[in-house]
Amino acid sequence: MLAIRPLSTLNSSKSSVFRMSKMALRPMSTAAVTPKFPFSRPRGAEPAEEYAMLRANEPVSKVELWDGSHAWLVVKHKDICSVLTDQRLSKQRNRPGFPELDKGGKEAAKRKPTFVDMDKPDHMKQRSMVESIFSREAVDRMRPSIQNTVDTLLDDMIKGGCKNPVDVVEKLALPVASYTIYGILGVPFEDLKFLTQQAAIRSNGSATATAASEANQELLDYIGKLVDMRVSQPNGDLISKLVTEQLVPGNIQRDDAIQMAFLMLVAGNATMVNMINLGIVTLFENPSQLADLKKAPSLAPSFVEELCRFHTASALATRRVAKVDITLGGKVIKAGEGIIAATQSGNRDADVFPNPDTFDMYRKRGDESAFGYGYGEHRCIAEWLSRAELEIVFSTLFQRLPNLKVAIPLEEVKYSPPERDVGITELPITCYGAGRLTVPNKELNGVTVTTTPATLTNVLIGPGGLITIDRSYYHDVSGRASKLEVDGVILAVQASKSYSSTCRDALSVYKTAPVPPSKETRFGSVDSPMSSNTEPISNVPDLSSASACSSTFGRA
């Protein structure tokens, strides 16, 4: 067995290969201490350095947990796949030897389990009660509703101005995750704020243990009342489905219904919030890929796929206990010994993912499977919902807010404690002067006006003219705009309060210089600073009067 030299003695580097070369390994003496787990991330979202060393030298090894007990740590992709599909290993947390990572986990293991902590056949029996709600087909039907939620939240952000920093956790990430699952569960609209507050306290990583426990109980009590309500007042939601199809016929008990609904309520919230935050930061760490995503929002699914590999969600949740003796990686694991499948490490396995520490949304993918949503029969039941939410957020966010910026240096972003799953507790952003507007195709005084949405990055105001948008007409106009094409001429547009039969009252249309095919003329929000790459536009007629409008277009 190998011992790890204390990390304080090692040089750090952004290059994982360089870090590995600095790690000194020496034979472990009989008196050597087994490494303590969970390992700590060295900084930010970087995985613990121990994982790379163990993948190279000892992929199945023992670690010491918080209470002095030991468990086996598995760090290679192929071995993790074996662990998560081996029926000789149990997911039941109440089995002796199951590895819990803290005192809270030990207490939670005493509660009545849901399907995530069951083995066959109970696991599939209970999971099947709600699985259809989260199927790919069902989630596809939810996409318009999710899109509406995202649009509404961004509308509110833009209305607020975004001039001063706002926390994207509060304004976007947590509401997107929460409102979607609340709708599935059938939570009354008037309760959304209360539940979102409790969910934030429970999962934000900065609350005290007492506050988190109290919030947890508040949520359980609320779900209990909702279950009781649905017994007499069933609706078309998930809780009603559990009540009418399972609870009333006697297939499950009231506590089962409460725990299953509670699981659906809280399981994805913290993970979704973290992935949205991590996604934003990751894009700013990789500006060329951010630029590509802005130009082609259809890249969002590829971005999300790589995001879920690079920043593994719930990386500490994949644990088992051996029911019989097994051999794995040349090590004998005895019955009753715990196993931790380090999915975050598996997602950085160079044998499966070339250049694993490089974020690359263009990564070519074969049959290999990243562990962003787990693996095997316990793979995340809400995977398709999570993918849909993330894809919609990242295909929309920078289209609506192209000027979005993280309001603090990236090295000052507040991450979750280094020994916990990677997450971001708060993320201040600004988006002043951001947005985009698609004006509906219109026939303006006999001239056909078609629109081509264009993200605006800079603006020129004055005789060279460009765009101002009346806030009273467009509900989120802090920077939305469009290129317009009138009879083949590229135009810039000024919107007034309403459309009418004259140019003056409807759209003041300014002819601009043609845009060379090989060179993009850059426009932007009226609130954005001028930029050196803004090109002046000359010979702009004054169309402030109906007569000028008529003379320009030959019709009034």
Which 3 state secondary structure label does DSSP give 331?
strand
Strands 338-341 and 405-406: unpaired
Catalytic residue among 81, 162, 308, 380: 380
Cα 93 from Cα 118, distance rounded (Å): 8
Whole-angstrom distance, CA of residue 117 vs CA of residue 133:
20
Q: What kind and span of H or E run contains 180? A: helix 174-185
Whether 380 is catalytic:
yes
Alpha-carbon span 226 to 337, nearest angstrom: 40
With H, G, I as helix, E, B as strand and everything else as coil, classify residue 2: strand
Q: Rg of the chain's alpha carbons, rounded to an integer? A: 28
Asked if 430 is an active-site residue, the reply is no
Element (H, E) at 340: strand 338-341
Q: Give the phi and the psi of residue 152 in degrees, each rounded to 5.
A: -65, -45
- Kindly compute the dihedral angle of the four CA atoms of residues 412, 417, 421, 422, in this order, to the nearest 10 degrees: 10
> Residue 169: how many CB atoms within 10 A of its CB?
22
Q: Which residues contact 280 (CB under 8 A, 6 or more apart)?
A: 168, 397, 404, 406, 427, 429
189: alpha, beta or left, given left = phi > 0 and alpha = psi -120 to 50?
Answer: alpha
Catalytic residue selected from 61, 180, 314, 457: 314
Query: Could you confirm whether 271 is annotated as catalytic?
Result: yes
Please list, residue by residue across 52-66, b when 16 or more beta carbons sit within 10 angstroms of its beta carbon and e when fewer do.
bbbbeebbbbbbebe
Contact 525, 433 (CB under 8 A): yes
Cis ω before 38 (30° cut-off from 0): yes
Catalytic residue among 16, 196, 271, 534: 271
- Token readout for 497 is 């309060």
86: helix, strand or coil: coil
Q: Tell me, yes or no, if 16 is annotated catalytic.
A: no
The whole-angstrom separation of Cα 500 and Cα 549 is 13
Among the listed residues 119, 237, 421, 476, the single catalytic one is 421
**Bridge partners, residue 4, by sequence:** 25
Question: Which three-class secondary structure state does DSSP give residue 237?
Answer: coil
The residue written with tokens 């044998």 in the block is: 351
Residues with a catalytic annotation lie at 271, 314, 380, 421
